[in-house]
Amino acid sequence: MTKSIVTPRGQKPNRISAGRIILYSVLVVAAVYYLLPLYVMVATSLKDLDQVREGNIFAIPLRASFDAWVKAWDTACTGLYCEGLKVGFWKSVQITVPSVLASIAIASVNGYALSYWRFRGSEVFFTILIIGSFIPYQVMLYPLVIITREMGIFGTLPGVIFIHSIFGMPILTLLFRNYFAALPVELFKAARVDGAGFWGIFFQIMLPMSIPILVVAVILQVTGIWNDFLFGVIFAGTKNWPMTVQLNNIVNTTQGVKEHNVNMAATILTGLVPLTIYFVSGRYFVRGIAAGAVKG
């Protein structure tokens, strides 16, 4: 017998097993499956109308250009107006930024107070808040219309911002409360001995340690509010319709030819903001955790 027995020593050799190959095949298929629609969208948006009419959606764009993108942004018609998506984009920015800031500001203080400054009835308060997050939106729509109308903010930007802030609160409060509850309580005690008060502890101790959860909250809220359609249609008023509502109007416009390339471009443009948020903050999020931001 000449078959030598290899003594295990040093680095373990990498062997590609059959299981691995199957695993990777499945992953590749899944990735293609999900990437295909994206490819169709991007490809179509780059074609001109002539090629679109040929009807082969998988074809590579022959005379690739961004004309459809420019049109979607600048001149596409939504009902009566032909000013493109840019109007809706800026309205969405005006709605999203204050809503995200307000809801996170309120929820972080809520979560902090609920986990450290237990007051009489704080558990009950928390329970109500959580139950609130399970009630379907539709149930509350009509009462909220009346409430905002009575407050005089129905059909205005502050109106829709108010609604978004309210609806973001339960889940965000839960998020922040659980995050703060996981921090060592001795930190809080030490800060109290050091004479810091409610806001001093919040701003100087807790917030600097909350970067990871703040990023999570921003991702949640930006994507949620940017993608919102329902509240925008109902509470913002026609003049303030966000990008999603405008996109819908562009795509569903009944006059003239169906400009599929413009529709695709408009759709990608609308989805670009949440996508960017994922890419940018996702990396930061991972870094925040790796840097041991939470460890004492």
Residues lying near another protein in the complex (CB under 8 A) = 184, 186-187, 189-196, 200, 204-205, 208-209, 292-296
Nearest approach, Cβ of residue 186 and another protein (Å): 4
Nearer to another protein, 55 or 195 (CB): 195
Nearest approach, Cβ of residue 117 and another protein (Å): 13
CA 172 to chain centre: 13
Q: Count CB-CB contacts under 10 A for residue 44.
A: 23
| Residue 296 structure tokens | 């004492």
Nearest approach, Cβ of residue 61 and another protein (Å): 50
Nearest approach, Cβ of residue 4 and another protein (Å): 46
- CA dist., res. 147 & res. 130, Å (int): 22
Distances (CA, A) of 185 to 122, 206, 286, 290: 18, 11, 24, 22
Nearer to another protein, 206 or 245 (CB): 206
- CA dist., res. 111 & res. 179, Å (int): 8
Distances (CA, A) of 135 to 138, 141, 222: 9, 11, 22
Nearer to another protein, 131 or 291 (CB): 291
Distances (CA, A) of 231 to 71, 136, 245: 27, 13, 10
Nearest approach, Cβ of residue 263 and another protein (Å): 48
Nearest to 78 by CA among 219, 212, 252: 252
Nearer to another protein, 90 or 199 (CB): 199
| Residue 248 structure tokens | 């819908």
- CA dist., res. 153 & res. 145, Å (int): 10
| Amino acid identity for residue 122 in this structure | S
Nearer to another protein, 40 or 187 (CB): 187
Nearer to another protein, 18 or 193 (CB): 193
- CA dist., res. 40 & res. 38, Å (int): 5
Nearer to another protein, 57 or 196 (CB): 196
Nearer to another protein, 56 or 122 (CB): 122
Burial class (CB in 10 A: 0-12, 13-18, 19+), 217: buried
